[in-house]
Amino acid sequence: MFLKREVYAKAMQNLKKIHFSICICLFLTAGAFFFAGTRAEAATPVEKWGQLQVQGTHIVNKSGKKVQLKGISTHGIAWFPQYVNKSSFKSFRKMGANTIRLAFYSDPNAGYSKDLYQKVEEGVGYATELGMYVIIDWHILSDGNPKTYQKNALAFFTHFSKKYGKQKNILYEICNEPNGDVTWERDIRPYANKVIKRIRKYDKKNIIVVGTPTWSQDVDVVAQSPLNQKNIAYTLHFYAATHTDFIRDKVKTAYEAGLPMLVTEFSICDASGNGALDKNSGKKWMQLLKKYQIGYVAWNLSNKAEASAFIKPECAKTGNFTKANLTPSGKWIVGWWKK
């Protein structure tokens, strides 16, 4: 009887030990998951990738790994300044964006004003706090030749490269879309060389994105004689319903020739920024960009009644967006960000 009781007590003791060990194990596992979870959440895009650079045909991160920038461009910040705020950018980061582009129209007839430097600074500030990359875009458009307002461009990039030259999350886009009677050799190349020289006075490392002829479509032309400079990528823009295989072929040619490219603007509607969506052509673009590891930033962050706008026209919010606030083009594009 005594023996039995002793065996029983021993068994109970062992059981308690096992129970205790299981508890400890569970606690440690839960703790590990918790810390992994918070750590993963704490790692912002810039914490993960660090200083970007151009290596050969690609944009790579601090460890030399090819990366795809993905994100959204503001509309002209003169017209939709209300979307340049931290909560707005944060909601897109949550959906998978790592990049914000700030579109600063350069033509005085299209919103240019030195007063808007302040808005760019706010935007860079929010993106930086959120650990996102930010493209400072000198948005030439109606002023087709980048030389038209070259003096203003030099002042603009002097100001921002002086201010942000030591940060690692900045990209400079020096001429959104050259168009009209403009050639690479005669107009864009000399303009680019001047602006790059100015930026490099203050910023030795960050990537400079250079526009290409015909609304940043002729990457094949540029690939024949790119600039002789470091950390340069070239702009490629497409609107999938208008720009189909004939532009995708230009991209293939340029890529095979070794040209580093970045899509700083695109949508899946037509080139007017409006019209029907072409998801079929859009899908071909996404597949091509993934295959080549070319980054892409979508047009545009506004609730304007046009197909390329991301926010539904009836949505009055200016931040804290969810997918329910997005237009069909917005929803479709966001769906590719985490792929």
- 149 interacts with ligand IDC by CB under 6 A: no
Q: What is the dihedral of CA 173, 177, 182, 187, to 10 degrees?
A: -10
- 104 interacts with ligand IDC by CB under 6 A: no
* Cβ contacts of 176 within 8 Å, gap of 6 or more: 103, 137, 138, 139, 140, 141, 211, 216, 235, 264, 265
Using the minimum distance from each CB to ligand IDC, give the nearer residue, 162 or 304: 304
Residues 280-299 interacting with ligand IDC (rule: CB under 6 A): 299
Q: Does residue 121 have an active-site annotation?
A: no
* Cβ contacts of 157 within 8 Å, gap of 6 or more: 138, 172, 174, 195, 198, 199
Return the residue of 74, 176, 325, 327 that touches ligand IDC, per CB under 6 A.
176
Using the minimum distance from each CB to ligand IDC, give the nearer residue, 273 or 295: 273
Residues 106-145 interacting with ligand IDC (rule: CB under 6 A): 110, 141
Return the residue of 45, 213, 273, 295 that touches ligand IDC, per CB under 6 A.
273
x/- site string to ligand IDC, residues 218 to 257, per CB under 6 A? -------------------x-x------------------
Question: Coil, strand, or helix at residue 334?
Answer: helix
- 329 interacts with ligand IDC by CB under 6 A: no
Q: Does residue 306 have an active-site annotation?
A: no
Sign of torsion, CA 147 152 156 162? Answer: positive
Residues that bind ligand IDC (CB under 6 A): 110, 141, 176-177, 215, 237, 239, 265, 271-273, 299-300, 304, 306, 308
Active site residues: 177, 265
